[in-house]
Amino acid sequence: KQEVTQIPAALSVPEGENLVLNCSFTDSAIYNLQWFRQDPGKGLTSLLLIQSSQREQTSGRLNASLDKSSGRSTLYIAASQPGDSATYLCATIQGAQKLVFGQGTRLTINP
Amino acid sequence: DAGITQSPRHKVTETGTPVTLRCHQTENHRYMYWYRQDPGHGLRLIHYSYGVKDTDKGEVSDGYSVSRSKTEDFLLTLESATSSQTSVYFCAISGDGKAFFGQGTRLTVV
């Protein structure tokens, strides 16, 4: 059974810092890994999708990497802004397109 | 944004009553899912569907049933609502290995 873990559970940093969010998974037989953002009281917004054959994906100030052999993915946020404050979740996608989520990292960027 | 709509967005119901939540998609994706999200538990899969009339249980399926009579609609029914089913319910769809979520339904069982 796939287990996805995100560390840390919460992170608070000053504006402008570069930061890394971590996601680890126990079963490396995944199709894809997807990072989401969730604002309070809202749904999940897809940020980046990394296919199993890829090592990383970039979108603006966000960069996500994937190392299947070690069961890890990282989300790098450059030059953080207060608007980046949200909960970030990673999910692995396996057979039958099942998603398994981590518990998320609650990120606060302080002005 | 993917075309996925949940209804209702908010509902308050009494213990013991049946409740049906609807998820509607316009993307023609094969896979549809129902999750619940609770503090301390994250997102947990209730049921999912891999085609019309094809459904399977997730990790927290007790007390819930689903139906999918059309590609675009996936219904979640709480057969007899209990206070432990107070939660935020999310519908998701996936295609080409990428998932999209609805805005959620906040259900309160009193």
Q: What pLDDT sits at residue B1?
A: 58
Q: How much of chain B exceeds pLDDT 90, in percent? A: 87
Q: What pLDDT sits at residue A16?
A: 97
State whether residue B45 sits within 8 Å of chain A by CB: yes
Judge whether residue B2 has pLDDT over 80: no
Q: Which residue of A has its CA nearest to B29?
A: A97
Q: What pLDDT sits at residue A18?
A: 97
Q: What pLDDT sits at residue B97?
A: 77
- Taking a C-beta distance cutoff of 8 angstroms, is the pair B25, B81 a contact? no
Mean pLDDT, consecutive 10-residue stretches, chain A (111 aa), reads: 92 96 94 93 92 92 95 97 96 80 94 93
In the block, tokens 């979740």 appear at A89
Number of Cβ within a 10 Å radius of residue A64: 24
Mean predicted lDDT score pLDDT of chain B? 93
3-state secondary structure of A40: coil
Q: Which of A99, A101, A103, A105 to mutate to test the interface with B (most CBs of B within 10 A)?
A: A99
The more confidently predicted of residues A48 and B98 is: A48
From the CA of B108, how many Å to the nearest CA of chain A? 14
In the chain, the amino acid numbered B67 is S
List, for residues B72-85, the tens digit of each pLDDT value.
999 999 999 999 99
Phi, psi angles (nearest 5°) of residue B22: -115, 140
Judge whether residue B31 has pLDDT over 70: yes
Q: What pLDDT sits at residue A6?
A: 96
Interface of B with A in 6-25 (CB under 8 A): none
Contact criterion met (CB < 8 Å) for A97 and B56: no
Q: What pLDDT sits at residue A96?
A: 63
Three-state DSSP string of chain B: CCCEEEECCEEEECCCCCEEEEEEECCCCCEEEEEEEECCCEEEEEEEEEECCEEEECCCCCCEEEEEEECCEEEEEECCCCHHHCEEEEEEEEECCEEEECCCEEEEEC
From the CA of B95, how many Å to the nearest CA of chain A? 8
Contacts of B48 in chain A (CB under 8 A): 96, 98
Which of the given ranges, B1-5, B12-16, B39-43, B54-58, has the highest pLDDT on average?
A: B12-16
Phi-psi region of B109 (alpha: psi -120 to 50; beta: other; left: phi over 0): beta
Quick one: CA dihedral A39, A42, A44, A46, positive or negative?
negative
Q: What pLDDT sits at residue B41?
A: 81
